[in-house]
Each structure stands twice: as C-alpha cells, then as structure tokens.
Amino acid sequence: METRRNFIRKTGAAVLATVALPAVTGENIYGKPPVKQTKKEDLFKLAIAGYSFVKFNIDESLKMMQRMDVHYLCIKDFHLPLKSTDEEIKAFHAKLKEKNVTGYGVGPIYMKTQNDVDLAFDYAKRVGVQLIVGVPNRELLPYIDKKVKEYDFNFAIHIHGPDIELYPNAKDVIEHVQHLDRRLGMCLDVGHDTRDGYNPSDDLKKYHARVFDIHIKDVTDASKSGRTCEMGRGIIDIPEFIKTLRKVKYSGACSLEFEKDMGDPLAGLAESVGYFKGTANATK
C-alpha cells in the first residue's frame, strides 16, 4: 500500500531529477548555446626525418609526405648533397614549396675533421636553415663551439643508443656539451635513448633546454635488440612523452623516423603519423 510518506519521497525525487537534468536540447539551463571549448595549438610540430626515405628520391618522398599530410622535413644529404650549387638548392626548395613542405634543418651529418664541420655549417647557411643535426667526433666539440657562436646556429648531436660508441644516450651528450655554448645540444632520438636503458620522457624533462630536435619513434624492446616498429605497437609511452613536450614547452620538430621497412615505409609511416596525431589530440 502506498503511504503518504512514500508518495512525497518519490514525487520529490522526480522534481529534483527534473531540475538537475534539463532536456537535451543543445542549450544549457539558462537557454544559451553551450560554449564550445577550443583546444590550444601545440608549440611542437610533426615532421619526417629524411632518413626515413633513404631509398627514395625527393619527388617520391614528397608524394608520401603529401599523402600523410605532414609538412616539415629534416633534409638529408642524399636528397640535397652537401656540395649542391645555389641553383640546385633553389630548385630543391621550389619542389618542397610545391608540396607545401618546409625543410627546417639538415642532417644527421657525420663529421670527422674540421673541414667536415666547415662544410656542414656552410651547407646549412646556403640551404637557409639554422639547425644542424650532427654526429661529430668528440675532439671536434671545441671547434663546433666556436662555429655556433660565429653562425648563431643550433647544433643538435644525434644520439644512437647502444649501436655505436659515440653519444649513446642523452646523458652522454649533456656530459660533453654542458660547459660549451648553449646552442650546442642534442637531437633526442627517443627510440635509441630507450634502447640504451633510459626513459626519454625523463630525459626531456631534465635536458629540455638543450634539446633542439627530436626523432620520434617506437621500439620493440629496451635493449640493443630492440627494433623500430609502428608507433603505438612498441614499449615507449608516447602519450606520456607528448604530455612532457607540452610541460617543458618544446617548440621544435618531432621528426618521425621509421626504420622498419625502408624499402616500403609508407604504410608504417602513415600508421605512426595517425597514432601520433590522434594521441596528441586526445591528450590535450
């Protein structure tokens, strides 16, 4: 039997529910359209590391970039040789512009002599960029210190994990440049850093003031046996890394470097681009 107390309790709850849950009409309870939240643009930009296209000419590479909707490229010397003429450099930039692509830096360039360093800096100046990604012999660092002061360029030492002795991880780079000009820093390859037993998010937090370029990728294992794989299929916490990029206000490029299927990279590159863009959007 329905008592008066139960009736009041049920009708009271119904009234409260009506007030608390307005009809879904596209308007809020004040009769105004809901305010649309706009997501901030990230300071960092997605790019492609030229080495991803080592088996393709520049025209084929740009077609792949166009299909993936990526607009920044780190220029490798197999696409634009170090001793290119000014006319060849101009023609190269015209091709990039036609595909809405900007070459933001050059490298990695290996340097064993002072002449190699001179050539690299002259090349970057003629190409019209202010970032060199390099792998110099350690004894050349004092000379590179002078060159970055002369040219006012950033010089990013590329790390290579356990594969070669030179600059295996971010910590090693910092130990060699910390007393040199602030424009001498690193290209943080997150895959190689991971393969050498480090956490790239932690290293970005610690060393971000000296991180001028990033090679973004995923790897199968945190050891020398780890190999590049499609982003999101490996062991690197990409969402955490993207959050760290924002936390430290990194404003450079995240160049996707895909080394799994060098003869047919498009599918893996495209999957990785989609994962990176989707993750970046979902974590805003």
Element housing 33 (H / E)? none
Mind listing the pLDDT tens digit for each residue in 19-74?
344 444 444 444 555 555 567 889 999 999 999 999 999 999 999 999 999 999 99
Confidence tier at 7 by pLDDT (50, 70, 90)? very low
Cβ-based neighbours of 207, under 8 Å, separated by 6 or more: 170, 173, 174, 185, 186, 188
Integer Cα distance of 64 and 256 in angstroms: 13
- The pTM score is 0.85
Quick one: fold of 45-282? Answer: TIM Barrel (3.20.20)
